[in-house]
Amino acid sequence: LGRETRPHHGDQVTIEYTGFLEDGSQFEACDELTFVLGDADVVQAFDLAVPLCELKEKFLLTTSPRFTYGDIGNPPAVPRAANLTYHVCLLTVNDPPNYRAMTNALRLAAANKKRERGNFLFRRGDYAMSMNSYSKAVTILESGMLLPKSVLKSGDNDSQESQEE
């Protein structure tokens, strides 16, 4: 147990969680939420807390609005400037996603998820984090980009074939 057995930035993790408002009412629950640690795919409180826990560990996470939905909240479920409490369990820890090895459809789905997160953050006025999500989406798409055969010069067919494998 300790630093070497905990998830690291970039790992793909799955958590189970239930979120509660200050009055004790539940506002959200999820049996399996999978995300890339440190990619801002989730509330910042998860990105900060999950690397501190062990696999299968259950923990209580109490956080200020700064690390969740800010002064805006997430209407209608989360009011403005709400302190939140989460019951969390780290279910799985896997290596970082290998986007190059994914099919085009899976890579597109992963990039689209980052784009959607970017849109959510942009609408909230969090422009820096939205740019981060958009940049990650482009990187995912570029990681397996194939050049159309018409763009290739003669003699570059071997290069194209190796990219398609």
| Interatomic CA distance for residues 156 and 117, integer angstroms | 37
Per-residue model confidence as pLDDT tens digits over 17-33: 999 999 999 999 999 99
What's the half-sphere exposure (Cβ side, CA atoms, 13 Å) at 53?
A: 24
Long-range contacts of 48-55 (CB under 8 A, 24+ apart): 49/88, 50/7, 50/13, 50/15, 50/88, 50/90, 51/6, 51/7, 51/8, 51/9, 52/6, 53/6, 53/88, 53/90, 54/1, 54/5, 54/6, 54/90, 55/5, 55/7, 55/90, 55/92, 55/93
Peptide bond into 75 cis (omega under 30): no
Per-residue model confidence as pLDDT tens digits over 34-70: 999 999 999 999 999 999 999 999 999 999 999 999 9
Would you place residue 5 in the very low, low, confident or very high pLDDT band (cuts 50, 70, 90)?
Answer: confident
Q: Would you mind telling me the total number of residues written for the chain in this entry?
A: 165
Angle at 71 between CA 66 and CA 76, to 5 degrees: 115
Instruction: Say if pTM beats, i.e. exceeds, 0.85.
Output: no
